[in-house]
Structure 1
Amino acid sequence: MTEKKAVPKVTKITTQKREGRYNVFLDDQYAFPISEDVMIKYRIFKGMEIDKQLQEEILAADDVSKAYSRALAFLSGHLRTEKEIQQKLREKEIPEPTIEATLKKLRELNLVDDLQYAQSYVRTMARTSDKGPIVITRNLRTKGILENDIEQALLEYPADDQVANGIEIGEKLSHHYRRDPVSKMKQKVRQGLMTKGFTGDVITQILEQMEFEIDPDLEDEKLKSEFEKVWNRNRRYAFSQRKMRTRRTLYGKGFQSDAINRLIDEQEDLK
């Protein structure tokens, strides 16, 4: 009759230099390292029997413990999404089952919550950036946030706040384009707000509430300056073609037809 092999026993537990880490010896031979929380969870003590199956379970739990510690370090002082934590742990070449077990533990302890992250992100962007909801949505998708969570998080940035922020942004843009005709300035402000991620409806409300001051003298100065450049550029054409090309170019730049025609009429008088 074959004698049954004895189950290894814990004969010694020593501390590592790294705080919270221990070395376990089975039958006076070094067996494996573990963290303090795993040691407590499995109630590991001197004289305890640990068979192969239990040892594998302990080692798997220790892998999760190490991954969890790395995740906590990554989370320190910052909210993170599940995708960001997952990517960070993958960089450490941690196996996928361990990563998933780590994320599960983080969820259970409310240390990772994509909806909470998205809500905080939207509030911060609304308060500190010039980005509208379209850009914010795109950024959240990149961070792995699901559509339902994004939709709920955007409630933190209501339309009234978007309009208020948009007016401030629009005024900065209009100052930048102040040398353009008013109609062209409005067009560029609209394009700028679209680029920053505001929706068409909100942009319309923004433009309606903005005050685009028209200085007739400055408008006239702008037109005369542009007219001179365009008129000279078209001097190689016959007079009728020159008028048509000049009128079309200046109208495309946002100047009023009556004002353009007035300058063209002056050129007629100089013929």
Structure 2
Amino acid sequence: MAVITMIQAQQRAGRYNIYVDGHYAFPVSESVLVEFRLFKGMEIDQQLEAQLSAADDVAKAYNRALDYLSHQLRTEKEVRTKLADLDIEPTVIDATLARLEDLKLVDDAHYAASYVRTMIRTSDKGPRVIRQHLRQKGVLERPIDDALQLYSADQRLAVGTAVAQKLAKRYQRQAFHTQEQKIRQGLITRGFASDEAQAMVTALALKPDADQQAALLAKQGEKLWRKYRTLAASERRYKTKQALYRKGFGLDEIDHWLTSLTED
């Protein structure tokens, strides 16, 4: 039976060359060296050599994964994708992930909880968008559900109300109905439920500035009135009224403006 005749450290830290019967045979990592208790004079057969080679593949993939994980938390899917991009065999990836999960270095439940806490603290996103992001990262529904329990109703209201206030300033020169509609839609787009979005809009207690709304209506109306100047009077009036209504102005306000309008 073949015998290990020399174990030589490589220049690269943690790597060793194994010599069998006086000839170089294969390299191993330090973890494999320790796990299999390799020593000079140890007998080795083809089966053991295959086991050593497989273990070394996992050790190299494990170290690659540790490098990837050193910068930030990752999901299982992200680690699998990274290792696959490095052309590592699927069986080796499976074994590597099993080791990482045993050591809690990859834990999707922990990742989801950490992600939710960070999003609450640093973003303006609601639960639905956070759920979507976690799904894209490969986290399953149960860990996502558990993590989102950390996002309390009070926290959602605080985050959402801050968003609503910013949106109110952005759309303050819109028709009042349109302003409320866009604020509500902005909140829903950011991941808040429609009923929560409505509650946040209501909490703002917005009130239209009559003078500002009249000025906005007149400005928009004059543009439309000129646009439809080639139409018959009744058609021109109808088209202008319809367009202003779609922009969020009230019918009474539109009628009042049209009544006061002097046709060109």
Match of 2:24, SS state, is strand
Give the ranges of 4+ consecutive aligned residues of structure 1 lying more than 2 Å apart after TM superposition: none
- Does residue 25 of structure 2 align to residue 31 of structure 1? yes
Matches within 5 A, 1:198-217: 198-217=192-211
Partner of 2:73: 79
Which structure 2 segments of 5+ residues have no match? Answer: none
- Residue 36 of structure 2 corresponds to which residue in structure 1? 42
- The count of aligned residue pairs is 264
In the alignment, which residue of structure 2 is the partner of 1:4?
Answer: none
Tell me how far apart the structure 2 counterparts of residues 240 and 253 of structure 1 sit (CA, whole Å).
20
Query: What's the offset of the Cα at 1:135?
Result: 1.5
- Which protein shows a greater Rg? 1
What percent identity do the matched residue pairs reach? 46
Q: Deviations over 1:225-248 (max 9, x none)?
A: 112111222222222222222111
Aligned equivalent of 1:131, options 111, 125, 137: 125
- The structure 2 residue matched to 1:20, chosen from 14, 22, 41, is 14
Find out whether 1:54 has 2:48 as its counterpart: yes
Question: Normalising by structure 1, what TM-score?
Answer: 0.94
Instruction: Give, as a single letter, the amino acid of the residue that structure 2 aligns with 1:140.
Output: L
**CA distance in 2: counterparts of 1:144 and 1:168, whole angstroms:** 30
Which stretch of the first structure deviates more once superposed, 259-268 or 31-40?
259-268
So what's the TM-score if we normalise by structure 2? 0.96
Report the Cα offset of residue 77 of structure 1. Answer: 3.1
Quick one: distance in 2 between partners of 1:166 and 1:211?
14
- Check the 8 A contact 1:159/1:202 in 2, yes or no: no
Paired residues of 1:12 and 1:26 also in contact (CA < 8 A): yes
2:191 maps to what in 1?
Answer: 197
What corresponds to 2:97 in structure 1?
103
> What are the Cα deviations for residues 193-240 of structure 1, in whole angstroms up to 9, with x where unaligned?
122121112111111111324222111111111121112222222222
Deviation of 1:257 (Å): 1.7
> What is the SS of the residue equivalent to 2:71?
coil
* Cα distance per residue 1:119-170 (max 9 Å; x no partner): 1111111211122211111111111101111111111212221121111111
Q: Given residue 227 of structure 1, which amino acid in structure 2 is its aligned partner?
A: G
Secondary structure of the structure 1 residue equivalent to 2:2: coil
Secondary structure at 2:181 match in 1:
helix
State the superposition RMSD in angstroms.
1.4
Deviations 1:31-71 (A, max 9, x none): 11011111111111111001110111111111111110000
1:87-166 to 2 correspondence within 5 Å?
87-166=81-160
Amino acid at match of 2:241: R
Structure 2: which amino acid aligns with 1:83?
K
Other-structure match for 1:261:
255
In the alignment, structure 1 segments of 5+ residues that lack a partner are: 1-6
Secondary structure of the structure 2 residue equivalent to 1:221: helix
- 164, 167, 171: which one aligns with 1:170: 164
